[in-house]
Structure 1
Amino acid sequence: MILTPLPELPAVSYVMPVLNEEGFLEAAVRTILAQDYPGEKEIVLALGPSRDRSDEIAGALAAEDPRVRLVENPQRDIPAGLNAAIAASRHPVVIRVDAHSELTPDYTRRGIEALRRESAANVGGIMRAAGSTPVQRAIARCYNSPFGLGGGAYHGDGEPGPAESAYLGIFRREALDAVGGYDPAILRGEDWELNLRIRRAGGRIWFEPRLQVTYHPRASLGDLAKQFFATGTWRAVLVRKYGGANPIRFFAPGALVVALAVSLVALALLVTGVLPWASGWPVLLAPLAAYLLAIAVATLRIPEQRGIRDRLLTAVTLVTMHVCWGSGFLRGITLGGGRVVDRSRM
């Protein structure tokens, strides 16, 4: 992929899909307007069929500042909304922002510097989850810990360098055009899938830890379960489509769920006397015992906890993440994605 040189201060288009985000939308847009980047800016909001005041808030923001423009996203899905916003935008750098995230003031400036310095097609930084209630804070703690999500550099600290994918993304429009934008058929994991196609086309994905984004996660365990089941399902779809291009870590939650199911069935058969303890079946309890021990260790090691309540919430959150992601993965591997979507914000 050959990209033309960027000027020092290229104009920037921020694109944001919006659906039922009345609690976060205004703050997200204002962090964009407050960027210390001196180049030209525009913001394109792709409005899905929200049931709350999101459209009203978006309209007020557009009326207040002509740099904010609105497009419709009747399909409501994130990839379709992003593609609609990108198509309506005009500038050579495209920055994805989520409505439940907030950028640090230097995000754009530092991102453009990295984009130019590394001749990258896409640059991403670190996601810092934050919560305001006990449950949301527990979810945020697990997001920020390798025990929760694990693997991706953008969930923790790390050194700058080439990356597999990027959180959100500061893109060269040329790179997006070259690969055809987001795949509207991939309803979750669309970032990873797009970055895979960019890498296969010869583009460079760059991790820049100086870029910081505050992310507001789901506020209830029920919504978290819906989100992670959908995420696991669509990761399996990507495994079916791209096979070995997927890192081995993505298979772990599905394997965990199978192992835990075997242990629980064995335990039930042993407790009810269907199988004798001397049969050797107790060895099948090892996965359950090992997992519970791992959860206990993680709960002790994850920082920013105060008291037994926080630790219990952390443990329940970790189990919810792992089991729902893994169950979704098994669903996706066997049945495909279908119309499984994350309805936790709908």
Structure 2
Amino acid sequence: MKGVSMQLSDITVVLPTLNEEKNIRNFLASLPNACHLILVDAGDDKTAEIVAQHRLPEFTQVLRLKSTISEARQIGAGLAKTEWLLFTDADVVLAPAYFHALSKYAEFDCIYGAKLSHTRFRRYYHWFAYGQRLSHKIGIPAASGSNLLVRRSIVTDVGGFDPELICNEDSELVWRIKRAGYRIAFAPDTPVYATDHRRLEKGTLRKTFHSVFRCSLLYCDLIPARWRKLDWGYWSHAQQGESSASAQD
């Protein structure tokens, strides 16, 4: 295996947002300035302005563009110039030793870690991460777009994110990377921590069923074509609620 360095300047963070002004400052505080950041903002609040105010312009690109999360991730990937792409979300913070721990996995082509919590739903996040570990051991990557590092060339090689999907686009991309023969690592020592639990507040059983059932259909290529553009109301309703709350603030 060839040795590959992983410096902060080699990484571009691709961040899709939709009305995340209450979360974005915490995320930015956990992100080193030396990392490049491409923000693709589909919202109508002050998220983009906050990013522009808090980040060095030479390491930051901000786009205001109405898009799905899959489209936003792909747009960011297409604009990036660095070797590595880190896909994540604005409602998390990176662990203090996150990038130091990532360097141990530089020989891999795709690395994904867990999403945990310092506050609410800690037990749920813990068991979900345990499920990721078990799934990885049996050969099925269980990646999350909250914590996913991929070589930019590989995203291009496998065709990028599926624009038909408006959720589970992260898992589906990594399955194609696996099937193409690239090396994938689950990195439990590179967690991110959730700062917003709005989807779990709708019910942990509902969240689990939605993830497992829909991902199972996608993985087995059994999902009907008309379902690929639907999220069954789960993500969009949470985002709409957030948008409405932001508009009232």
Name the count of aligned residue pairs. 234
Distance (whole Å) between structure 2 residues aligned to residue 51 and residue 241 of structure 1: 31
For the residue of structure 2 that corresponds to 1:345, the secondary structure is helix
- The residue type equivalent to 2:131 in the other structure is G
Q: 1:12 to 1:231 in 2, by over 3 A?
A: farther
Per the TM alignment, residue 68 of structure 1 is displaced from its structure 2 partner at its CA by 1.8
Q: Partner of 1:15 in structure 2?
A: 14
Identity %: 19
- Residues 233-272 of structure 1: matches in 2 within 5 Å? 236=213, 238-243=215-220
Q: Does 1:174 align with 2:166?
A: no
For the residue of structure 2 that corresponds to 1:152, the secondary structure is helix
Q: Partner of 2:116 in structure 1?
A: 128
- The residue type equivalent to 1:185 in the other structure is E
Per the TM alignment, residue 207 of structure 1 is displaced from its structure 2 partner at its CA by 1.2
Q: What are structure 1's unaligned runs of at least 5 residues? A: 35-39, 132-136, 247-331
Q: 1:220 to 1:18 in 2, by over 3 A?
A: closer
- Residues 225-240 of structure 1: matches in 2 within 5 Å? 225=203, 228=206, 232=210, 236=213, 238-240=215-217
For the residue of structure 2 that corresponds to 1:174, the secondary structure is helix
Q: 1:91 to 1:164 in 2, by over 3 A?
A: same
Q: 1:26 to 1:111 in 2, by over 3 A?
A: same
For the residue of structure 2 that corresponds to 1:180, the secondary structure is coil
Deviations 1:121-180 (A, max 9, x none): 11122221243xxxxx2xx2352243x78622299xx9x997613332111112211112
Q: 1:32 to 1:231 in 2, by over 3 A?
A: farther
Q: 1:186 to 1:154 in 2, by over 3 A?
A: farther
Deviations 1:258-301 (A, max 9, x none): xxxxxxxxxxxxxxxxxxxxxxxxxxxxxxxxxxxxxxxxxxxx
Distance (whole Å) between structure 2 residues aligned to residue 13 and residue 129 of structure 1: 24
- Residues 85-164 of structure 1: matches in 2 within 5 Å? 85-116=76-107, 120-131=108-119, 137=120, 140-146=121-127, 151-153=131-133, 164=141
**Larger RCO, structure (CA 8 Å, separation 6 or more):** 2
Among 329, 334, 339, the residue aligned to 2:230: 339
Query: Retained in 1: the 8 A contact 2:5–2:103?
Result: no
- The residue type equivalent to 2:166 in the other structure is L
Per the TM alignment, residue 218 of structure 1 is displaced from its structure 2 partner at its CA by 2.3
Per the TM alignment, residue 236 of structure 1 is displaced from its structure 2 partner at its CA by 4.7
Q: Partner of 1:308 in structure 2?
A: none
Query: Retained in 2: the 8 A contact 1:162–1:204?
Result: no
Distance (whole Å) between structure 2 residues aligned to residue 113 and residue 220 of structure 1: 32
Per the TM alignment, residue 219 of structure 1 is displaced from its structure 2 partner at its CA by 4.1
- Residues 161-240 of structure 1: matches in 2 within 5 Å? 164-167=141-144, 168-219=147-198, 224-225=202-203, 228=206, 232=210, 236=213, 238-240=215-217
Distance (whole Å) between structure 2 residues aligned to residue 225 and residue 203 of structure 1: 35
Q: Does 1:42 align with 2:40?
A: no
TM-score normalized by structure 2?
A: 0.77
Distance (whole Å) between structure 2 residues aligned to residue 125 and residue 149 of structure 1: 8
Q: 1:150 to 1:41 in 2, by over 3 A?
A: closer
Distance (whole Å) between structure 1 residues aligned to residue 155 and residue 54 of structure 2: 27
Q: 1:338 to 1:188 in 2, by over 3 A?
A: closer
Q: 1:31 to 1:12 in 2, by over 3 A?
A: same
Q: Does 1:80 align with 2:71?
A: yes
Per the TM alignment, residue 192 of structure 1 is displaced from its structure 2 partner at its CA by 1.3
Q: 1:154 to 1:181 in 2, by over 3 A?
A: farther
Distance (whole Å) between structure 2 residues aligned to residue 99 and residue 154 of structure 1: 27
Deviates more, 1:24-33 or 1:197-206: 24-33
Q: 1:225 to 1:53 in 2, by over 3 A?
A: farther
Distance (whole Å) between structure 1 residues aligned to residue 138 and residue 57 of structure 2: 36
Q: Partner of 2:63 in structure 1?
A: 71
